[in-house]
Amino acid sequence: MAIDVQRILVPVDFSDHAAPVIEWARHLAEVHDAELILLHAYHLPVEFQQIEGAYLPQDFWESVKAEAEMNLEGYARAIRESGVAVRLVVREGYPATVIEDEAIEARADLIVIGTHGLSGLKHMLLGSIAERVVQKAPCAVLTVKLPV
């Protein structure tokens, strides 16, 4: 059975762990001659939204989006140099939901996502975007376990 991978979705959170996840995805894209879709999802934590009198400058969301696009472009340059096609997507919303929605819209064949390997109380308190993506994704998901 041949596995046809044409589009690989890579959620990027700009943490120190992003580069190894992107490298896994880049390698797979190279092997399968697939397009990489680098996705960054941003949202305002509920805790901030509940602060009475909290003020956000009028251009806050435009600034957040522009900075995310600029950061993604930094990763994309190196990917393009290796001959892999790459597309950048920046969307507002809860990351797990944005990832699932983008996978559907882009018709992704694979999602490559990092997991920090938290367990116990830390996992319970912090939750896991990767775990939610694995449960709800419309396609295959490769989790790249990274050191805590």
Considering its fold, how many domains does the chain have in total? 1
Q: What is the pLDDT of residue 61?
A: 73
Q: List % helix, strand, coil for the chain (3-state, nearest 5).
A: 45, 20, 30
Angle at the Cα of 64 (from 103 to 35), degrees rounded to 5? Answer: 30
In a domain, 20, yes or no: yes
Across the range 113-127, mean pLDDT stands at 62
Average pLDDT of the residues of the chain: 86
CB 94 within 8 Å of CB 41: yes
Element (H, E) at 44: none
Q: Kindly report the CATH number assigned to the domain that includes residue 37.
A: 3.40.50.620
Domain membership of residue 135 (yes or no) is yes
User: Which pLDDT value is given to residue 63?
Assistant: 86
Q: Domain for residue 1, yes or no?
A: no
Residue 82 lies in a domain: yes
**Residue 121, in any domain of the structure:** yes
pTM, rounded to two decimals: 0.86
